[in-house]
Amino acid sequence: MKAHDGMYIGGAWRPAVGTDTITVLNPADEQPVGQVPAGTAQDIDAAVRAAREAFPAWAATPPAERGALIGALRDQLVARKDEIAETVTAELGSPLPFSEMVHAGVPILVSGSYAELAATYSFEEKIGNSTVYMEPVGVVGAITPWNYPLHQIVNKVAPALAAGCTVVLKPAEDTPLTAQLFAEAAHDAGIPAGVFNLVTGLGPVAGQALAEHEGVDLVSFTGSTAVGKQIGATAGAAVKRVALELGGKSANVILPSADLTKAVKAGVANVMSNSGQTCSAWTRMLVDSARYDEAVSLAAEAAAKYGSRIGPVVNAKQQARVRGYIDKGVEEGARVVAGGSEAPREQGYFVQPTVFADVTPEMTIAQEEIFGPVVSIIRYEDEDDALRIANGTVYGLAGAVWAADDAEAIAFARRMDTGQVDINGGSFNPLAPFGGYKQSGVGRELGPHGLAEYLQTKSLQF
């Protein structure tokens, strides 16, 4: 696997200030696939300076021109799609077809959407005797996780560039090679020097230095709620804009009128894809008492089919963490009907696709984000009970509702405390705002709402 031994700062690959490195492992076989520099506060400082310097000219570039460059970036991602998929498979472990379709495919859609939005968005508005200008916030510090390595980067960088902001990215330590590929794509697309900068490194070192840097105007973070709270506090103290995309514990609500087989199968597939490492995964399946046992056997059967098709989780720590949650579920009285905590292979960080029945809403596995291939099936008595359970966590990122007709599902979805709901298996929309209610976060990504995060208003009165 190709790896750069420098940082992409000010339009060039520059040697890192320090000598520490990060070794990237393939979670499927635990073998090293590359090595990147571990950045320090000094690397971050150099990158933020480059971004500051590039900001005035980029902010003044007509939006349609910014859009054309984002379109060129999209084309570079298209040209590299096989390399991107292979790289994500090597450092995240996801099966190659999934890497091709989702990890490489979705960022192409999203960058394409911002190429168009930059050119068509209204950066000016008339309100009464005022003209309101939407202006870029400034320098963005983007901190991303490993679960969708390129998607998480593009979700931040594409709208930031469309808005006229410049960016310093600190990607996850587990998946820096994909981030380096993105930097290459940005370079070859002709994104001007300093508009996009990359510093690889560790969260508590490079990530923290970026979040704390006084030259950063907006911090956009995706990852764990624990780190998100810290970043929110740091940004708050400095009166900086902040966007937090944190964890989830989404409910898949199967109403009594729904097609049970379809809903259960889709629910299991949703959790198992990417080995359960999706913040919006529907990890709690809610089924009415009358059809509970039927749902449990359907889910167990569906999960068993994933057996050898599922990829590993990202690293040894996550594997131990997920297996620990499975043990905890058993301890608290839930019943394993598929999978279990035993590691299915000697090598690689694999976890068995696991389904729990007899899960009660207050159990740890029904409350905390597991981030692994684990589904909990919870019984409800009536609709109000289902709603209470669905809303009964600190999270509110996503969810699903299934019913005989959309109207019934919509009525339920409107009562859910969550930012995104799929109705009867509705498909992914790269323009729909994505983000959390409650502790799932602050702010939205994707589409015009995602673009608005990087803008601030200036009103002129006449």
For the chain, the residue count is 462
- Site stretch for ligand NAP (CB under 6 A), options 64-72, 129-137, 172-180, 386-394: 172-180
Catalytic (active site) residue 165: no
Shortest separation between residue 249's beta carbon and ligand NAP, angstroms:
10
Please list every residue from 363 through 382 that binds ligand NAP, using CB under 6 A: 369, 371
**Does 224 interact with ligand NAP (rule: CB under 6 A)?**
yes
Please list every residue from 99 through 158 that binds ligand NAP, using CB under 6 A: 143-147
Please list every residue from 272 through 311 that binds ligand NAP, using CB under 6 A: 279
Nearer to ligand NAP by Cβ, of 160 and 409: the residue is 160
Nearer to ligand NAP by Cβ, of 123 and 437: the residue is 437
**Which residues contact residue 399 at a Cβ distance below 8 angstroms, ignoring those fewer than 6 apart?**
250, 251, 252, 253, 282, 390, 413, 416, 418, 420, 421, 422
d(CA 428, CA 202): 32
Q: Name the catalytic one among 86, 91, 100, 279.
A: 279
Strand order of the β-sheet with 124-127 is 124-127, 130-136, 455-461
Catalytic (active site) residue 245: yes
Q: How many CB atoms lie within 10 A of CB 23?
A: 12
**Does 227 interact with ligand NAP (rule: CB under 6 A)?**
yes
Shortest separation between residue 310's beta carbon and ligand NAP, angstroms:
17
The pattern of x and - marking residues 1 through 40 that bind ligand NAP according to CB under 6 A reads ----------------------------------------
**Does 173 interact with ligand NAP (rule: CB under 6 A)?**
yes
d(CA 211, CA 216): 7
Shortest separation between residue 131's beta carbon and ligand NAP, angstroms:
38
Shortest separation between residue 396's beta carbon and ligand NAP, angstroms:
13
Nearer to ligand NAP by Cβ, of 202 and 410: the residue is 202
Residue whose C-beta lies closest to ligand NAP: 203
Q: For helices 149-163 and 63-79, give the axis angle rounded to 10 degrees.
A: 160
**Of 33, 109, 202, 320, which one interacts with ligand NAP (CB under 6 A)?**
202
For tokens 């989780």, the residue is 313
Query: In the Cβ-directed half-sphere of 356, how many Cα atoms lie within 13 Å?
Result: 28
Q: How many residues bind ligand NAP (CB under 6 A)?
A: 27
- Site stretch for ligand NAP (CB under 6 A), options 117-125, 218-226, 336-344, 355-363: 218-226
- Site stretch for ligand NAP (CB under 6 A), options 53-61, 73-81, 222-230, 256-264: 222-230
- Site stretch for ligand NAP (CB under 6 A), options 10-18, 40-48, 67-75, 242-250: 242-250
Q: Name the catalytic one among 100, 245, 369, 445.
A: 245
Catalytic residues: 245, 279
Binding residues for ligand NAP (CB under 6 A): 143-147, 170, 172-174, 202-204, 207-208, 211, 222-224, 227, 230-231, 245-247, 279, 369, 371
